[in-house]
Structure 1
């Protein structure tokens, strides 16, 4: 395995492969942050969104995704420009990114559970969607999300020497791993989360799909829409959870060739980091008509409200003539 104590050499290898397209990645991140900024603005400007559980969970996911992308972009730029940072700062950055990365799939699970209650237990939905339950749910997401980071931190603290903490290094996620078994511990935790979250998603999808088949009229239409929403969440969750398994790919690739290892890291970043977080605008920004109208209003800086009165005035003039 590559030893992070080599500092510059390890960072150079990573930057040569992992950062082949830093400019393209930064452009993608910039577009992503702009869209998410509009999403968050739309959420806060409408009281109906701020009091609806599913929109609250959506806004929470957008905030987490945006924070992840900012932190990842910072780490990316530091590596690209070969900026060395104190070891402690690198540890904190990596742990925060790991924490936030788990919060996204956990939020998706919560959103699927919310749809399950809304479709399958509509009479209990109002009782469950209270401000107190929402706060407890968000705290539970953050609490469960920090467990993997704490496991890695404790294993690192038990093995690292004080002298090593005084070093300045090029920051990579490998900086958290001192010996081989830490990687397998990380993979074991990731697999556990992958299994549990997949089971919850499968359960909610089956239940909502069954409700859609047995419903009729407006209830059937609502249930079918709920099924599609859960299916889209499942797709997004699958990509997020696949990211949790990327350490397996990295270990296998590193045993083959360093160049392949670096190329796989680039693919993993684009496919499993950026792509899942681009599905959020598709799911709510385009499919949800109420949210889409608000999003469109702020995307054009409120010009749609000015155009509509002008159009109405023109029609009135035509009618008079």
Structure 2
């Protein structure tokens, strides 16, 4: 009995530790993202460049996702139940923007592909107007999983279900096995298309890098590194889409909570630090603007 109590106490402390780490990381990433967003809006030179506009989209998307998912995490951790209709309002943007970030990464990868492999057409294909259209397309494509998930949920749920008080988690939106299978199929198709685009872009840029010389070779090499970082970030983002299915196979309650917290830290929070790294720190123009925003002067 004492051993069981000790085990429960250990699991409880571990979950609290995960929660504290999640809160600290969330606050840090939100502050960094806010600083980068302010830097973007302060400098008009960034407003006409496709890659910076798309970068701002990822920052806004990640910030909203961090804020809402953190609310859901706190509610679940403290076993606070809310009306199902309120949970839907919170969950719709969470499901949408979970997909917006990886789709935006694909758009940023294609922008690098055009810049390096089709430099003469870059100004035309990546104009500000086309970038705005691209953002609309990104949100349209990203809304497909959320439309499917919530349409099947609305078709299956009774009116009385919306008034119930439940923990706000993804599990409440699936009543039948076929709903999970349909959602899995959609995410699988999306993952496959994204990986094909990443591999295609990498191969094309690699060919240009081998044939280039001088400044062109340096640009191509930097483009390759950016695509690799995008690929790694994309893997983490897409892995988070599979987390609910992995968690659903776990029957032990304590193990389920520990795995859920681990997945949240690794596949929800970790990818959020890569966007500031790729464009906030590696990009010289943005980094210089960031230093000016922070009041840091050149020595």
The two structures share one fold, judged by TM-score above 0.5: yes
Which one of 90, 105, 111 corresponds to residue 108 of structure 2? 111
Question: What is the aligned partner in structure 2 of residue 83 from structure 1?
Answer: 80
Q: In 1, distance between residues paired with 2:152 and 2:235?
A: 28
- Alpha-carbon RMSD across the aligned residues, in angstroms, is 1.8
Gap regions ≥5 residues in structure 1? 1-14, 312-321
Question: What is the aligned partner in structure 1 of residue 285 from structure 2?
Answer: 290
Question: What is the aligned partner in structure 2 of residue 137 from structure 1?
Answer: 134
Alignment of 1:1-321 (within 5 A): 21-254=18-251, 257-299=252-294, 302-304=295-297
Q: TM-score, normalised by structure 2?
A: 0.92
Moved more, 192-201 or 259-268: 259-268
SS for the counterpart of 2:249 is helix
Question: What is the aligned partner in structure 2 of residue 10 from structure 1?
Answer: none
Moved more, 277-286 or 62-71: 277-286
* Superimposed CA distance per residue, residues 248-296 of structure 1 (whole angstroms, 9 cap, x where no aligned partner): 3112223xx2222221111110110000111112111221111111112
Preserved contact between residue 109 and residue 200 of structure 1 (Cα < 8 Å): yes
SS for the counterpart of 2:175 is coil
Q: In 2, distance between residues paired with 1:82 and 1:260?
A: 17
Question: What is the aligned partner in structure 1 of residue 5 from structure 2?
Answer: none
Preserved contact between residue 191 and residue 245 of structure 1 (Cα < 8 Å): no
Pair member with larger Rg: 1
Deviation at 1:84, TM superposition (A): 2.2
Preserved contact between residue 156 and residue 177 of structure 1 (Cα < 8 Å): yes
Question: What is the aligned partner in structure 1 of residue 8 from structure 2?
Answer: none
Deviation at 1:192, TM superposition (A): 1.0
Preserved contact between residue 49 and residue 127 of structure 2 (Cα < 8 Å): no
Q: In 1, distance between residues paired with 2:34 and 2:240?
A: 24
Preserved contact between residue 253 and residue 260 of structure 1 (Cα < 8 Å): yes
Q: In 2, distance between residues paired with 1:20 and 1:265?
A: 13
Preserved contact between residue 103 and residue 145 of structure 1 (Cα < 8 Å): yes
